[in-house]
Amino acid sequence: MADFNSAIWSILIAVTTVVSIVALFWFTWVQAQGKKREHGEQIETMGHTWDGDLAEYNNPLPKWWLNMFYITMVWGIGYLIAYPGLGTFKGMLGWTEQGQYEAEMAKAEATYGPIFDKYKSTDIAKLADDAEALGVGKRLFATYCTQCHGSDAGGARGFPNLTDNDWLYGGTPEAIEQTILNGRQAAMPAWGAIIGAEGTQNVASYVEHLAGREVDQAQVDAGQKVFSTTCVACHGPEGKGNVAMGAPNLTDDIWLYGGSRERIVESIDKGRNGRMPAHKEFLGDAKVHLLSAYVYSFTKGNAPAK
């Protein structure tokens, strides 16, 4: 890629563009030239005739049409002078996509920022009972969260259900806000190569047993031994998880990546590395505060309708 950053490419683009415009001017001018016909003089044809007498005449372009070509080319030259388009030349106006984006964001912040700021100093738990605040939070959720968590906040495979009161990192207002602000990075290691295929199957049976399922007792006993040496550090001795680490509770039969035998074995064998992106820099503290209140309100039965 470094080769494409060379100045030669900028020069090549600029020269090609300028030569192309000059060539268009010349071609248009040449095509507009021709012998002026005297009144009554026979008009030449291009030699193409259809249906016996339908001929293609060699008439020059109308002046208004020809002038339209010249106007568009002059406009193109003016555009290339004002805006970037000739290699690395930045244009007389100094316009950039980044600059336009920042200007639009600044204008939006000046217009809508006060709407969000007025809620910033209010506790999330209190905002969760404020209908007006929840209306704003609902619109934020629809814009920034539904792509992963769904319009009903029910989640999908690999994306948490926000309505079931099962929180990997805690469901307190503060924990929810921290999750949205700073994001989360899962770190479930792959155990397949370490405990082997048999060990993986045995641990899967023990995990199913923790969730209250009927499984082979011999595998459960063998899996418990492996679990106590490899899994207990994160999931705890009873498999109830650890919100400080984002380790899920294995006893509630709620599964982020699916609770079938196949999915459980896959999680143990290959590990999981789900990521919740941080929204602090993108949304700012005030919007995240409102969004957190809306999500927290799900714990009070305010989840979106399915």
Structural tokens at position 41: 């003089």
Instruction: Tell me the three state secondary structure of residue 57.
Output: strand
Going by pLDDT thresholds of 50, 70 and 90, the confidence category of residue 4 is: low
The pTM for the full model equals: 0.73
Q: Quick one: 260 exposed, middle or buried, by C-beta within 10 A (0-12, 13-18, 19+)?
A: exposed
CATH topology of domain 101-185+277-300: Cytochrome Bc1 Complex; Chain D, domain 2 (1.10.760)
Helix ranges (DSSP H) in the chain: 7-32, 63-82, 97-117, 124-127, 131-144, 146-149, 173-182, 192-210, 217-230, 232-235, 261-270, 280-283, 285-296
DSSP string of 73-93? HHHHHHHHHHSS-STT---TT
Q: Is 272 helix (H, G, I), strand (E, B) or coil?
A: strand
- pLDDT value of residue 195: 97
Q: What is the mean pLDDT of the chain?
A: 91
Predicted confidence at residue 10, as pLDDT, reads 87
Q: What pLDDT was estimated at residue 1?
A: 46
Of 100 and 303, the structure prediction assigns the larger pLDDT to 100
Q: Give the C-alpha separation, 207 to 247, whole Å.
A: 13
Copy the structure tokens of residue 289.
Answer: 């505060």
Extents of the domains making up the chain: 101-185+277-300, 192-273
Give the best-scoring range by mean pLDDT among 43-47, 104-108, 178-182, 302-306: 178-182
Q: Tell me the pLDDT tens digit for each residue of 22-78.
A: 999 999 888 777 656 666 666 777 777 888 778 887 777 788 888 999 999 999 999
- The pLDDT value given to residue 156: 94
Give the residue-averaged pLDDT of 277-306: 92
More confident residue, 54 or 254: 254
Q: What is the pLDDT of residues 223-249, one digit of tens each?
A: 999 999 999 999 999 999 999 999 999
Task: Report the pLDDT value the prediction gives residue 59, as an integer from 0 to 100.
Answer: 73
Nearest to 296 by CA among 120, 170, 147: 170
Residue percentage of the chain with pLDDT more than 90: 75
Residue 12: which residues within 8 A CB-CB, separation 6 or more?
87
Question: Does 101-185+277-300 match 192-273 in CATH topology?
Answer: yes
Q: What number of residues does the chain have?
A: 306
Q: What Rg value do the Cα atoms of the chain yield, rounded?
A: 34
Residue 183 has pLDDT above 50, yes or no: yes
Closest-CA residue to 306 (of 154, 155, 145): 154
CA triple 208-211-213, angle to 5 deg = 60
3-state secondary structure of 49: strand
Among the listed residues 253, 162, 161, the one whose alpha carbon sits nearest the alpha carbon of residue 207: 253
Contact assessment for residue 290 and residue 133, using Cβ atoms and an 8 Å cutoff: yes
Give pLDDT, residue 2: 53
Cα distance between residue 83 and residue 207, in whole Å: 62
**Domain 192-273 class in CATH:** mainly alpha
Percent of the chain with pLDDT over 70: 95
Are 290 and 124 in contact by the 8 Å Cβ rule? The answer is no
The pLDDT tens digits of the residues spanning 147-173 come to 999 999 999 999 999 999 899 999 999
Mean pLDDT to the nearest integer, 70-93: 92
Predicted local confidence at residue 46, as pLDDT: 75
pLDDT at 6 over 90: no
DSSP state of 56: E
**Of 85-89, 242-246, 282-286, minimum mean pLDDT range:** 85-89
Helix axes 261-270, 192-210, angle to 10 degrees: 140
Q: Residue 39 has what pLDDT?
A: 64
Q: For residue 81, what are the contacts with CB-CB under 8 A and spacing of at least 6?
A: 91, 92
- The whole-number pLDDT of residue 170 equals 94
Parallel/antiparallel/unpaired status of strands 184-185 and 54-57: unpaired
